[in-house]
Amino acid sequence: MNTKYLLNCLFLSCHIILALLISACNNELETIDSAKKQAVSAGNDDINILQSLGFDTSDITEMDTYYLIEGDIMFEKSGLSSYDKVQTRQAYHTTGLIGHPKQRMITVGVDSSIPISGVDNWREEIQEAINLWNPLSNLKMTYTSEVNPDILIRSDAIDPTPLEDNVIAAASWPTNGQPGSSIRINLDYYNNKTIPRLQKIYNMVHELGHCFGLRHTNWKSIGESEANHIDGTPISDPNSIMNGGTAEYQWNGFSEGDKEAIKRLYPFFKGEFNNFPDNIKHFGIDQFLISVSCSHPIVSYTNWWVTAGVLVSANRNSATIILGSPVTSSVSVNVTTIYGEKYYISKQYLTQVTTQRLLN
């Protein structure tokens, strides 16, 4: 009886001691991790730049040649000095958008490190992701085989430190008005798991979104650094293609919030007449100075025209007009955008409706 009692006491004591040791090891590990994060963030110019862009240092993992933030957003160390610290138009992104001169001319290429056949060939899915994004906003991507594309997609295996096993891909952030320059694919994801076609498409669409400057829609619920909300989109969107932690998802379409978000950040062309008359008392007599404004930068205004009226004078984006009829009078002008696109813009007095048409 006494021997059994002593053995039970000894077993219990050993169990308690073992538990305390495990707890001590865990606490030590947590202390070391915390100290590492503090050491990385303190007095480090790179980290200060990333903080100025709106990212939390607790989300930053330092790799050999780049920093990885929030699991799949990359910042190349060699290019950090080029990031503008001034905040730009905000949404569910932090800072950095693609500038007007580049929006319609984005080239996407695939590096030779991605196989041209077999289960690790992502080329068709990359093309499909491009085709899915292109109709939604003013952004226009073209798949290319030329060297030095704007966005180069390659394997992470050629990096000194590849992506972690559970990270399927990671993308660069826009800088200096250019899209994020790189997407890395982990071809050995989860011990070389075979990735089905729809999962490849989902992840390529997601990573291209980061190249455009989009943050994770669910940043708050997954504990990431604060991002700003896009007007006109839901605060929470479980169907968003840009939700984080979704590498295992398969393509099932954009949410309405996704469509609105990218359209708000990169709007389609829209022209409008300012000071256009809507209640003329003396047709054929009263003169009106109107102007045209457009959502895209304009390099030229040509062919001002008044139907059933008089064009008194025209000066680039403005014109003095006389409308002669409440039923048939209208004003039109041709504009050329910074992208070289030509639009015909017209407005009728009777309906007060503006119409536009791409000419080339």
pLDDT in tens, 141-164: 999 999 999 999 999 998 888 999
| Residues 40 and 67: beta-carbon distance below 8 Å | no
93 beta partners: 91
CB-side neighbour CA atoms (13 Å) of 138: 22
Evaluate if residue 333 carries a pLDDT over 50: yes
d(CA 19, CA 23): 6
| Residues 204 and 185: beta-carbon distance below 8 Å | no
Q: Write the DSSP symbol of residue 175.
A: B
Amino acid at the residue 132: L
Q: Does 3.40.50 match the CATH number of domain 271-358?
A: no
State the helix-helix crossing angle for 2-41 and 45-52, rounded to 10 degrees. 80
| Pairing label, strands 151-155, 106-110 | parallel
For residue 275, how far is the Cα from the chain centroid? 35
pTM, two decimal places: 0.77
The pLDDT-based confidence of 329 (bands split at 50, 70, 90) is very high
Evaluate if residue 17 carries a pLDDT over 50: no
Task: Give the whole-number percent of the chain exceeding pLDDT 90.
Answer: 65
pLDDT in tens, 173-217: 998 889 999 999 999 999 999 999 999 999 999 999 999 999 999
pLDDT at res. 224: 82
d(CA 320, CA 314): 6
Give the CATH superfamily of 40-265: Collagenase (Catalytic Domain) (3.40.390.10)
Domain edges within the chain: 40-265, 271-358
The pLDDT-based confidence of 9 (bands split at 50, 70, 90) is very low
For range 208-230, the mean pLDDT: 89
Q: Single out the residue of 22, 70, 35 nearest to residue 170, CA to CA.
A: 70
Evaluate if residue 226 carries a pLDDT over 60: yes
| Residues 57 and 47: beta-carbon distance below 8 Å | yes
